[in-house]
Amino acid sequence: MTGTAQALPTSPGQPGSECAIRLVDAEKVEAVRSRMPAESDVTDLAVIFGLLSDPGRVRILIALLEGEMCVCDLAATTGLSESGVSHALRLLRGPRVVQVRRAGRMAYYSLADSHVRMLLDLGLTHVGHAGQDRLTMVSNN
Amino acid sequence: MTGTAQALPTSPGQPGSECAIRLVDAEKVEAVRSRMPAESDVTDLAVIFGLLSDPGRVRILIALLEGEMCVCDLAATTGLSESGVSHALRLLRGPRVVQVRRAGRMAYYSLADSHVRMLLDLGLTHVGHAGQDRLTMVSNN
DNA sequence: AGATTATCTGTAGAGTTGTTCAGACGTTAA
DNA sequence: TTAACGTCTGAACAACTCTACAGATAATCT
């Protein structure tokens, strides 16, 4: 797609431009591009949101909002298998979303990141879940 | 989420328990389960986060933070193909994350949901992107 | 009318993700 | 020591997602 160059017919700018991309409001495009975060930041952001994009992991994290829990209690709480919980927690451990405290053969997990707590609160408000009124905001749709 | 009653051992390390699900802190499990949002809310939440879990869609939404844009300008801004942008916007249109204003053959998209705007702001703060200081919070890890 | 433009859609293939099963590891109890 | 336990891991498979291409649609222009 990017290979096929086409001259801008009605471009508000340079005649004879080699630009392959059609633009309507070139000024705005430039402004927005200059404010766009770095590639790595965008990727990290997508990764974090991706961790929150699975119902099982969301249930785990909501459970952890109340305090630390061990793997088998998380399984009982969320309905996932213990193996499933363990796999999920490994994904969350990587980017330091949760942290472990080990006591003997038990492993107690808790939220390690206040931003994620806020994302969950905000999201829960969005979907209309009551019981979370710490962030008050306008409902929009 | 409601049915499946089970005998709760009610204390750590109960020998001879026939319980199919092992529990360590049954009291806490019960407390957390009672506060767990409905299945549909958890799913909706995961869907919203899932929409934010792709770098291309994140770039589109960040661009739209600055105001409405047409498809081809979004393509130029984000580096995606116009077809790709259109596919992404269709996904975002479904759950009313973005909205369209049509003028002739142009389609101008804008954010339709203030919650999503806040999720993006919060996420950008999380990944350490400067330029967004509207939400001040403690850094945690 | 036909041509051009902007956007939208269907489809197919590659890649990724979630779940399950089986077994491993380290810890505790008998 | 052996056995039981809680947790972790690897592998396999189905299900899903992203991307690119081709073509469709509707608006505008010549």
Indicate the pLDDT class of residue A5, thresholds 50, 70 and 90.
very low
CA of A106 to C1' of D1 (A): 24
Alpha carbons B112 and B98: distance in angstroms, whole number: 5
Average pLDDT over residues A1-24: 43
Instruction: Scan residues 62-91 of A and list those with Cβ closer than 8 Å to B.
Output: 62-63, 66-67, 69-70, 72-73, 75-77, 79
- Same structural domain, A118 and A87: yes
Q: Is the CB of B84 under 7 A from strand D?
A: yes
Cα A53 from chain centroid?
Answer: 7
How many structural domains are present in chain A?
Answer: 2
Q: Same domain, yes or no, for A120 and A60?
A: yes
Q: What is the pTM of this model?
A: 0.81
The two beta strands, B106-111 and B98-103, are: antiparallel
Query: What whole-number distance in Å separates Cα of residue A20 and Cα of residue A23?
Result: 10
Contact in structure between B47 and A54 (CB atoms under 8 Å): no
The pLDDT tens digits of the residues spanning A55-106 come to: 999 999 999 999 999 999 999 999 999 999 999 999 999 999 999 999 999 9
Beta-carbon count within 10 A of B66 CB: 15
Are A32 and A73 members of one domain?
A: no
Q: Looking at this protein, which amino acid is placed at residue A114? A: S
Distance A57 CA to C16 C1' (A): 17
Do A120 and A74 belong to one domain?
yes
Least confident among A44-53, B10-19, B94-103: B10-19
By Cβ distance, the residue of B1, B112, B127 closest to A45 is B127
* Token pair of B7 as six digits: 């005998």
**Pairwise CB contact (< 8 Å): B42 & A58:** yes
Are residues A5 and A20 in contact, defined by beta-carbon separation less than 8 angstroms? yes
Produce one character per residue of A89-121: b if its CB has 16 or more CB atoms within 10 Å, e if not: beebeebebbeeeeeeeebbbebbbebbbbbbb
CB contact (8 A) between residue B122 and residue A125 = no
Same-domain status, A69 and A123: yes
Is the pLDDT confidence value at B10 over 80?
no
**Do the Cβ atoms of A62 and B131 come within 8 Å?**
no
Q: What CATH number does residue A71 fall under?
A: 1.10.10.10
| Closest to A92 (Cα-Cα) out of B34, A80, B36 | A80
Are residues A66 and A15 both part of a single domain? Answer: no
In whole angstroms, D20 C1' to A72 CA is 44
Please state whether strand C lies within 7 Å of residue B82 at its CB atom: yes
Rounded to whole angstroms, the Cα distance separating A93 from A121 reads: 20
Together in a domain, A93 and A29: no
Give Dmax (Cα) for chain B: 74
Identify whether B44 is part of a domain: no
Quote the CA–CA distance of A75 and B130 in Å, as a whole number: 38
**A72 and A129, same structural domain?**
yes
Identify the pLDDT of residue A4. 32
Nucleotide closest to A100 measured between CA and C1': D7
Q: How many residues does chain A have?
A: 141
Instruction: Retrieve residue A58's tokens.
Output: 């969301």
Whether residue A123 sits in one domain with residue A94:
yes
Length of chain B: 141
pLDDT above 70 covers what percent of chain A? 76
What is the three-class DSSP state of B3? Answer: coil
Chain B partners within 8 Å of A128 (Cβ)? 41
Tell me, what amino acid is at A90? R
Least CB–CB distance from A123: residue in B49, B83, B128: B49
Which of B42, B81, B124 is the closest to A55 by Cβ? B42
Instruction: Determine the longest span between alpha carbons in chain A, in angstroms.
Output: 73
Query: Are A24 and A81 found together in one domain?
Result: no
Domain hosting residue A30, numbered range: 5-36
Task: For residues A86 and A127, state if they share a domain.
Answer: yes
